[in-house]
Structure 1
Amino acid sequence: MHYDIIIIGGAIVGSSVAYYLREEGFSGSIALVERDPQFSRAATTLSCASVRQQFSIPENILLSQFTLKLFRRLREEFGADADIGFREGGYLILAGENGLPILRANHEAQMAEGADIVLEDAEALVRRFPWLSVEGISAGAYGRSGEGWFDAHAMLMLFRKALRDKNIDFITADVTGIERQGDRVTSVSLDNGERLEAGTVVNAAGPNAGKVAAMAGLALPVEPRKRNVFVFEAREKYDDMPLLVDPSGIYVRPEGSVYITGGAEPEEGEGPAVPPTRPRLAAVRRGDLAGAGNPHSGLRGDQADGRLGRPLPLQHARPERGDRPASRGRQFPVRQRFSGHGLQ
């Protein structure tokens, strides 16, 4: 079997690649290969499904703005019943005295791209959010619009449903090998015994993109890392609470009637994600979240331990420019997310 394009990885990146190839007029044959059709292990569906414009470089900001435009015309794009539960609650990134120069520099980059972000000192933040504790806080950057969170699974399903009418072959299998002839990738082998010849292979394997690249003899600095997301209940409820990021790196945001939290985890550690542990939850609670007044103070530990969220595997990679030997002529492009924000 021969395909003009084979996409390895059928979650949000792979599915959107297939979708926009068709939208841009590509009429060749496309295969979308996904080993986990329920997406139970996909970074897309395990993510916190947030979107923000508070980045330090224009490229990241512009990518988010592209997605936001899609959110604004979601029903026009995918139909009248399209709904991803987008809650435009904003991000509030806090900084102490040491982090203030970086916060200011990032804010300048965001303003240059037209992002609706305000930089406010501690006094102004308390006026905006009376529940906020600003002890040790010098300032915060708040996204008044164009930031928030949504239903990742619903977003993915919109793309997958739309692909059914775009002549895309869905293949449920695991890729076990990639063949090359010189600098060209020629075929993909699957665990069901099939061998698919390819004109172009797109690596959209998320945290496993490094493993897929290795099959083609390429070194790609992408690997899965263990990350935990905790779900907890608290006495305090703040209807206007954004996704709040403490200077320590710990984040917290509302999720319906509960909260989710995580962050400030060590960079080291390899392998698949593992179940969150009671000591890890205790470590997050000891983080002394500066903001939120704080919801951790009212945490019901027994219930929180019993309702731990699924672990979140994030990929950590550094972007590199330039073609790799087997990717010259865009014959083996990598569509890889960086810093855990690929979903947006």
Structure 2
Amino acid sequence: MLHIKSVCRCIQHNVYKSRYYTTRKNPFVKTWNTLSNDMLIKKRAVYPEHADVVIIGGGFIGSSVGYWLKTRAGSGLSVVILEKDLSYAQVQNNVSLGTLTQHFSLPENIQLAQYSAEFFRNIKLNLNSETDIKYRPNGNLILASEKYAQRLEQNVAIQKEFGVKNELLTAADVKEKYPWINTTDIELGCVSTECEGTFNPEAFLKGLVLKNSDLGVKYVDAEVIGFDMEQQRDVLMEGVTPGGFRKISKVTYRTKDNEEYEIKFAICILAAGGCSGEVAKSAQIGVGDGLLKIPLPIQHREYNIYNIQDENSKVSINTPVIMDTSGLWLQQNALDNNFLCGYTPLSTNSVKELLAENFYEEMIKPSLFNRYPKFQEHQIKVLRTEFQDCNTYDETGILGSHPYHINLVIAAGFGKLGCQHAPGIGRAIAESIIDGHYSSIDLTRFGFDRLLIDEPLVEFNVY
């Protein structure tokens, strides 16, 4: 048996420390506590030695992959998830992840967002009847200056091809709808009319973990420290010396008790967020020759979330998530009935590093006060620091088998979209394993191969 009791204890203890969403006497809490108490039986943990599929990372994407594999294959497939922090401390802090939007230029992102809307709409059927992700259908508003107006129009045209319902707004329209927004340097706006809003990312993840425990997914509280590679003399691969191919077949992990174990697998899913690039090095990705020469360009990225405090400022329930062309975003703080804001992570950290001490003063504050003059008299404080995984190559997630390690499936680098897109990403990976191809949404372009041929896949949005 696996250590699911650790999952329950850690999340039960930590998730409800968050100020962003808190609900007392929720039936879902009772279910969670009951499951936790049932699993608190004093017995020595038994660590599995074999699994059909091992998933490195038990966050949104990793847990979604486990959910879909067991939903599709049931007891016919054994699935183990290795997660180094079952307290999910970083997930508690990432309140801005809980946004649902279809404002994209890449068809894949639009389709993934549309499926997420469907999945969340039926969340109680998909996960648990008591799962409550606090969905608020308040939509998203995108603002574009004259420089980006044409790009916004192009994006809206693409979105309409996929049935997205949104509306282009003139600066006057924006001012009429939201008189507290400065529109003097705004050319166009676009507001969605359905299938967009905000939700509680912690409740979503917790629902996935609970459902996975029912389905038989095993969570292990441990950190991956390496792979075991077996030489395959009968395998011929272009660019690899005959007889020199080495297949990954085992993963070594270290528990919280500092004990090391191995687990043999048929397929491994790398969904370790910002740690994925470092984990990949254990499989010689980025440190080898030929197909192993190119690294997995996934890194951690962090930035601050700010709370705009004003007791007299009441937020309308219909106020959308607002994205400014400067990269500034603004959304409701559901608990305190005010606003949260932050800055879209920069393509590189160079600017932020140069302005480390003055980032708020020189980047965020000018954009915030220009767009929302009424906030100049408000108290603005850092609420918390968020963490995301970033694909430094082209800012788009990497999904699919590695060209050398074909039994290693990568699912990382999606950044803020990892939470929103998790249902569709997990389903896609399950399809690729069970069906042998993507049967719902074709995500082939997200593959690692684009790094080999140097063809970036860029999400061209207005910010």
- Judging changes above 3 Å, is the alpha-carbon distance between structure 1 residues 203 and 36 closer, same or farther for their aligned structure 2 residues? same
Match of 1:13 among 61, 67, 88: 61
CA contact (8 A) 1:246 1:290 kept: no
**Residue 213 of structure 1, CA deviation:** 1.3
Taking the aligned partners of 1:321 and 1:24, their CA distance within structure 2 comes to 20
> How much does 1:266 deviate?
4.0
Q: Which amino acid aligns with 1:247?
A: T
Q: Match of 2:282, as an amino acid? A: M
Q: Quick one: structure 1 residues 97 and 322, their matched pair in 2 at CA, closer, same or farther if it must change by over 3 Å?
A: same
Which of 242-251 and 332-341 deviates more?
332-341
CA distance in 1, matches of 2:148, 2:57: 37
Q: Name whichever of 140-149 and 279-288 sits farther off.
A: 279-288
Superposed displacement of residue 295, structure 1: 4.8
CA contact (8 A) 1:186 1:198 kept: yes
Instruction: State the Cα distance separating 1:228 from its structure 2 match.
Output: 1.5
C-alpha distance in 2 between matches for 1:146 and 1:187 = 42
TM-score by length of 2: 0.67
Q: Which has the larger radius of gyration?
A: 2
SS at match of 1:146: coil
Structure 2 gap ranges (5+)? 1-48, 231-244, 286-294, 421-463
Is the CA contact 1:243–1:252 (under 8 Å) kept in the aligned structure 2?
Answer: yes
1:94, distance to aligned residue in structure 2 (A): 0.3
SS at match of 1:114: coil
* Shift of residue 321, structure 1, vs aligned partner: 8.1
Structure 1 SS opposite 2:418 = coil
**Structure 1: unaligned runs, 5 residues or longer:** none
Decide which of 162, 180, 199 is 1:131's aligned counterpart: 180
Q: Retained in 2: the 8 A contact 1:52–1:148?
A: yes
Tell me the equivalent position of 1:195: 262
Distance 1:262 1:49 in 2: 14
Which position in structure 2 is the counterpart of 1:236?
313
Give 1:25's match in structure 2, choosing from 62, 70, 73. Answer: 73
Letter in 1 for 2:260: G
Partner-residue secondary structure (3-state), 1:133: coil
Paired positions, count? 333
AA paired with 1:263?
Y
How do 1:117-196 residues align onto structure 2 when only pairs under 5 Å count?
A: 117-181=166-230, 182-191=245-254, 192-196=259-263
Do the aligned partners of residues 324 and 282 (structure 1) sit closer, same or farther apart at CA in structure 2, a change above 3 Å counting? same
Secondary structure of the residue aligned to 2:125 is helix
Does 2:162 align with 1:113? yes
CA distance in 1: counterparts of 2:409 and 2:345, whole angstroms: 31
One-letter amino acid of the structure 2 residue matched with residue 311 of structure 1? T
Letter of the 2:409 counterpart: P
* Selected match of 2:385 from 296, 304, 311: 311
In structure 2, the CA distance between the partners of 1:64 and 1:44, relative to structure 1 (3 Å rule), is: farther
- Judged with a 3 Å threshold, the aligned counterparts in structure 2 of structure 1 residues 264 and 322 are, in CA distance, closer, same or farther, namely closer
Task: Give 1:312 shift.
Answer: 1.3
RMSD: 2.5
Asked whether the 8 Å contact 1:96–1:136 carries over to 2, the reply is: yes
Q: Is residue 46–residue 311 contact of structure 1 (8 Å, CA) maintained in 2?
A: no
What does the per-residue CA deviation read over 1:123-167, in whole Å, with 9 as the maximum and x for residues that have no partner? 122232233321100011111221111111100000000011111
Q: CA deviation at 1:341?
A: 1.0
Query: Deviations for 1:287-324, whole angstroms, at most 9, x for unmatched residues?
Result: 24554x44522321xxx33xx22211222213568853
Aligned to 1:223: 299
1:200-258 Cα deviation digits (max 9, x unpaired): 11001011111111111112111112222112213433403211111211111111222
Aligned residue for 2:38? none
| Aligned amino acid, residue 313 of structure 2 | E
CA distance in 2, matches of 1:160, 1:185: 27
- Post-superposition CA distance 1:56-96 (Å, at most 9, x none): 11100100111110111112222332210011111111011
Contact (CA 8 Å) 1:50, 1:150: kept in 2 or not? yes
Query: Secondary structure of 1:342's match?
Result: helix
2:126 is paired with a residue of what secondary structure? helix
Q: CA deviation at 1:265?
A: 5.1
Instruction: For 1:269-288, list aligned pairs within 5 A.
Output: 269=349, 279-283=358-362, 284-288=364-368
- Give distance in 2, aligned partners of 1:298 and 1:236: 11
- Which stretch shifts more, 333-342 or 85-94? 333-342
Q: Counterparts of 2:187 and 2:323 in 1: how far apart (Å)?
A: 14
Which residue is 1:338 aligned to?
A: 414
Change (3 A) 1:223 1:28: same
SS of the equivalent of 2:411 reads: coil
Confirm or deny: 8 A CA contact 1:46 1:313 kept in the other structure: no
* Partners of 1:134 and 1:36 in 2: CA distance: 44
State the secondary structure of the residue aligned to 1:311.
Answer: strand
Query: Residue 146 of structure 2 aligns to a residue in which SS?
Result: coil
Alpha-carbon spacing, 1:54–1:117, altered in 2? closer, same or farther (3 Å): same
> What is the identity, as a one-letter code, of the residue corresponding to 1:267?
S
Contact 1:230–1:281 (Cα < 8 Å) also in 2:
no
Percent of residue pairs identical: 24
Cα deviations across residues 157-197 of structure 1 (Å, max 9, x unaligned)? 00000011111211000001112223422111111311111
Are 1:4 and 2:52 matched, yes or no?
yes
Mapped partners of 1:44, 1:61: distance in 2 = 26
Is 1:53 matched with 2:102? yes
Asked if the contact 1:180/1:187 (under 8 Å) is kept, the reply is yes
d(CA) in 2 for partners of 1:207, 1:19: 22
- SS across alignment from 1:36: coil
Q: Which residue of 2 aligns with 1:102?
A: 151
Q: Which moved more, 1:106-115 or 1:311-320?
A: 311-320
Partner of 2:427: none
Describe the SS at the equivalent of 1:196.
strand
2:205 aligns to what SS in structure 1?
helix
| TM-score (normalised: structure 1) | 0.89
